[in-house]
Chains A and B, each alone.
Chain A
Amino acid sequence: MRLKITLGTGLVIGVAAIGTTLSQAPSTVARVNMDAHTTFTAVTDRTEACQANEVLPQGTSAIRLRMYAFLGPRVTVAISSDGRVIARGERGSGWTGDAVTVPVNPLAIERSGLVLCFALFLNGDESVDLSGEETAELAAQVASGPLPGRVRVEDLKPGRSTWWSLGPQVARRMGLGHAPSGTWTVLLVIALMGGVVVACSRVILRGLR
């Protein structure tokens, strides 16, 4: 009986967690500060850089900075208006890939003419490649002077559609670029995972007594 209660509770929690997750809206890119996406420099030491003339759309919940590291350092972001910090965020070390997403506190209204400062807490061993646009105009500034370019910044905010409403579109996309192709493959995955859940439940009830 206790096993049945444990299994039932677990399944209810699982279904509720999936339902809650799918009720949320995925992040969308609200704004990008440039089209370019090329590596313009690599930094190896602790770096604090600021770039001016940034815009932060209303409701931005995270900022994605374009930079590559295999094992990224801690990153902090502060966005200022007239010398006053209006949004800030931090991402711990250990990120990987060619972008780091830093959550920030959302603003009630869109603000422009902002200064975005980011700090990379490197120790001098691994490097971080900064990507964006190689330019002298509005280049990111560090203490020793300007960097050879400006980092690409993408502002993210929750979209309007929930995962539930996006379901048919996601299912259609899952059927493309695959073999076998077609939306029916989604049903196959659901059926297989349903079988896995049933098998696990039966094993729990019979094998753990």
Chain B
Amino acid sequence: MSSTEIVSAASTRRPIGDRRRRSPLRALGRVPALGWVCALVACANAVCWSIITPPFQVPDEPDHVAYVKQLAETGHVPTTNMGSLPFEEAIALEDLHHTLVAERPENQTILTRAQEQKLQRDLLEAEHSPERGSAYAGVATSQPPLYYALEAIPYSLASSGTLLDRLEAMRLLSAVMGGLTALFTFLFVREALPRVPEAWTVGGLAVALVPLLGFMSGAVNPDAMLYAVTAALFYCLARAFRHGLTRGRAATLGALTAVGLMTKLNFIGIAPGVLLGLLVLGLREMRAQGRRALVPLGIALATAVSPVLAYVAVHVAAGSPALGIVSRGIRTTSGSLWSEASYIWQLYLPALPGTHDDFAGVLTARQIWFDWYVGLYGWLDTTFPGWVYDLALIPAGAIAGLCLREVIASAPALRARAGELVVYGAMCAGLMVLIGADSYRGFPSVDAEYGQVRYLLPLLPLLGVVLALAARGAGRRWAPIVGAAIIMLFLAHDVFSQLQVVARFYG
């Protein structure tokens, strides 16, 4: 991509005053067929992951299922993180030998017909239990309810089956969310690099094949929805930067922010970046339109914070802590602010001179973020042989180099979009700081409790752009070849990741 192509992204903004109304359905109709292919590929991939991953062998899935069960069967959200899981789920976990299999890669899931028959018999009996849901949902208890409320739909639709039938139905909804993540990534890359259609394909399709996206979207976990919502936000922000902040776009951005806040607490790390984006867009409009531009900004901000205000108001009115059950999750940290800042820095980058080395002997960027992106599945118990992680450095280095080459070549044009880039940077930084701050609470007894790549997957749309830039960095002549190679690399990574999971659980 040349500088002029990037400039064109900024200059296609329509003149102020041109605010043609477009319905969301019509906008969907204009999505290129390739975008839908990306969505279908991601969805099919996640469905495969949902079948090959044994029930409850995804981090925290038992707790998330308990949340949905409570909501679907009683209409109430869980209220305690002390207690036990519902009887029906506890039976399933016992018959599936969950405690023996999770985190113990030498143990496989059930292996015989007799074990299967016992499982089915016990599940049928458990269905007749008078117990309905459970106020306990473990680590999921403090999470907001939107994802679980949506999952209550497939849960109820499959209520005639056993718990495992309902689990698979819920996993399928997550798979659809995986498809939406790929679709919005495709659309985001299209907005970011509008004159380079091949780039949309490379970014969208490669992200659709990211194994960790398939793994998490093939499970019951609000992360699946968080990825989709954040990808939609990236797309809408890019669109607003390119075409202006209309009332419709402002309302959409506000609504998506509200949805994000109601999906998973991790969104708190992304929200400041989105609000910064709204402010930058609002100020830009004000320069052109004066105070009239404050209206869309007000709409966006009011919509975005409304669920938080409603949540606080309900709890204050009931005389409970303003943040309800979430208050229990917000514990104060020990140690100084400087120590915490240093820890957060080192969670991603090497220690700075003069600071205590919190991760001595560990290169966190490589060993936590890169290696665990390459392959760490199940309850963090399924890995590739060591040499695979070393080998993966070669294509990763090549992609990084080509991307850097393209960024340097386009530097003058990128400066014209500095505001937009700062906003994306703020979204990244906010999420990374949140992960670091949460991990610091468990430090030093656990080095990096939340140092898991799945928490960074809301930033997948940016990976899509990086891959698209890498393909373009190879030059006009080689860009299609490198783009094809990137897609095939991600496809191979996905297939071998699935085989590794099959070998671990059924081999």
Contact = CB atoms under 8 A, between A and B. Distances in A.
A108 interface: no
A173 B502 CA distance: 10
B340 interface: no
Contact of A192 (B47, B55, B362): B47
B401 to A, nearest CB: 19
Contacts of B362: 71, 73, 93-94
B495 A14 contact: yes
Contacts of A125: 358-360, 443-444, 447
A177 B41 contact: no
B154 interface: no
Nearest to B382: A97
Interface in A145-185: 154, 163, 166, 170, 173-174, 176-181, 185
A174 B507 contact: no
Contacts of B55: 177-179
A207 B361 contact: no
B60 interface: no
B44 A195 contact: yes
Nearest to A22: B499
A85 interface: no
Given A96-B376, A125-B444, A199-B37, A177 B110 contact: yes
B447 A26 contact: no
A103 B387 CA distance: 11
A194 to B, nearest CB: 10
B31 to A, nearest CB: 14
Contacts of A138: none
A196 interface: yes
B202 to A, nearest CB: 7
A200 interface: yes
Interface in B350-379: 357-362, 366-368, 371-372, 376
A94 B295 CA distance: 51
Nearest to B491: A200
B395 interface: no
Given A14-B488, A207-B198, A170 B507 contact: yes
A74 interface: yes
Contacts of A14: 488, 491-492, 495
Contact of A96 (B44, B197, B358, B380): B380
Contacts of A127: 445
A179 B106 CA distance: 24
Contacts of A163: 503, 507
B41 A207 contact: no
Among A92, A103, A197, A200, the one with the most B-chain Cβ atoms within 10 Å of its Cβ is A200
A10 interface: yes
Interface in A69-115: 69-71, 73-74, 91-99, 103
Nearest to A62: B385
Contact of B484 (A26, A69, A173, A204): A204
B109 interface: yes
Contact of A123 (B360, B383, B492): B360
A193 B51 contact: no
B410 to A, nearest CB: 20
Contacts of A136: none
B76 interface: no
A2 B477 CA distance: 10
A91 B102 CA distance: 22
A70 B446 contact: yes
Interface in B439-486: 443-449, 451, 480-481, 483-485
A28 to B, nearest CB: 10
Contacts of A93: 361-362, 367
A17 interface: yes
A48 interface: no
A64 interface: yes
A75 B37 CA distance: 46
A163 B503 CA distance: 9
11 contacts: A69-B447, A71-B367, A92-B367, A97-B380, A98-B103, A125-B359, A163-B503, A177-B116, A189-B52, A195-B44, A200-B41
Given A3-B481, A71-B448, A176-B113, 18 more contacts: A6-B481, A7-B484, A26-B503, A73-B362, A94-B367, A94-B368, A94-B371, A97-B103, A97-B380, A103-B386, A123-B360, A125-B443, A174-B51, A177-B54, A177-B109, A199-B40, A203-B487, A209-B198
Interface of B: 34, 37, 40-41, 44-45, 47-48, 51-52, 54-55, 96, 103-106, 108-113, 115-116, 119, 161-162, 164-165, 167-168, 197-198, 201-202, 205, 209, 357-362, 366-368, 371-372, 376, 380-381, 383, 386, 443-449, 451, 480-481, 483-485, 487-488, 491-492, 495-496, 498-499, 502-503, 506-507
Q: Which 4 A-B pairs have the closest CB atoms?
A: A94-B367, A123-B360, A179-B164, A10-B488
